[in-house]
Amino acid sequence: MKIIQVVGARPNFMKVAPLHRAFSKYAGVQSLIVHTGQHSDPNMSTVFLEQLDLPKPDFYLGVSGQSYDQLIAEIQRESEKILRAEKPDLVIVVGDVNSTLAGARAASAVNIKLAHVEAGLRSFDNSMQEEYNRIAVDHISDFLFTTEMEANANLQKEGIADSKMHFAGNCMIDSLIHYLPKADLQTIREELKLQHKNYALMTMHRPSNVDTKQGLQNILSLCESVTDKVHVVFPVHPRTRNKMIEFDFWNKLHAISNITLTEPLGYLGFLSLLKQASLVLTDSGGVQEETTYLNIPCLTFRKSTERPVTISKGSNVLMNEFDMDQTLAYIMQILNGNWKKSEIPELWDGRAAERIAQIIMNTTI
């Protein structure tokens, strides 16, 4: 059996790594990787492939830095060429980034079976491009592997057949569990002179937060307010950095005391900082999951989340606006040890990829 997995952006790599390992255990399975190049920055791409022990991609499309429609169209066109030449039995796409949608469309156009890993997640916020991507991919997929039962319920409401759905667990957590020992060996906390459980880790990159002057002002105000209570470590996403410079906020961010700004971090370095943080401020989807597993208090600055289990069972709280009074009240609760205890969701046990591989191998494609 020949399987092609499509990756393009940072979150994809953590989900594909355990899948690639799982398929490699089966004799007669050829697992190939197509890297679209959606994230071309070495800190967002190459270092992740190396740290996750992924092989050099079999195909690299080098597609990046275009408008949404142009990006989707070019990735789909170039992916179709590969699929027609390689004739795989199955295409796997993961998550909800633009490369996910383009790879899925390519498989559909060439009439190759398609599996979507992390299917059924819904934010119910149609202003998010990722929401459109998720829905579109789910409705053309033959296998839908879900991370939580809420996702199955979403798919059922949309009329997708139960026979296509498989509750398998979370491949992002597979990677977290697998690489925690390596993350524990990282020295980044010492290099940044950080004390154990004595800092907040922050990530901000969503267009809704960083693409406008008001959004950036909100982030700046958040940093100014939070640093009065706790040291903040902020690895700055390239998109965020570029927008900060464009709107003349970059020097103001640097001028804030009690904050450490870094370049984007590799997976192991980020995981090391995450594990030792006292709290997390984020707009990321994956970080909500990681903090839930690690039982680290998480404040998510978005109107909605497609990962409700991180709130119902996890350590996450949704901040639907940049309310500084509420944020500081929550932070004081956290620092005083009064935060809710996280429960690890069902099947977040490090074996999701094994279950996915087994289901696929036991199915006639």
Torsion sign over Cα 342, 346, 349, 353: negative
**Catalytic residue chosen out of the listed positions 116, 205, 231, 237:** 205
Give the bridge partners for 202, in sequence order. Answer: 281
Structure tokens that stand for 284 in this block? 């990321």
Structure tokens that stand for 93 in this block? 């796409």
Question: 65's torsion region: left (phi>0), alpha (psi -120 to 50) or beta?
Answer: left
Residues 170 and 346: their CA atoms lie apart, in Å, by 9
Residues 57 and 207: their CA atoms lie apart, in Å, by 28
318 phi, psi to nearest 5 deg: -90, 130
**Secondary structure letter of residue 116 according to DSSP:** E
Residues 20 and 12: their CA atoms lie apart, in Å, by 12
Question: 347's torsion region: left (phi>0), alpha (psi -120 to 50) or beta?
Answer: left
Q: Is 178 a catalytic residue?
A: no
Radius of gyration of the chain from its Cα atoms, rounded to whole angstroms: 20
Give the bridge partners for 145, in sequence order. Answer: 117, 166
Q: Are 300 and 280 in contact, with CB atoms under 8 Å apart?
A: no
Q: Indicate the residue type of 192.
A: L
For residue 102, give the nearest of 127, 70, 54, 124 by alpha carbon.
70
Name the residues annotated as catalytic.
205
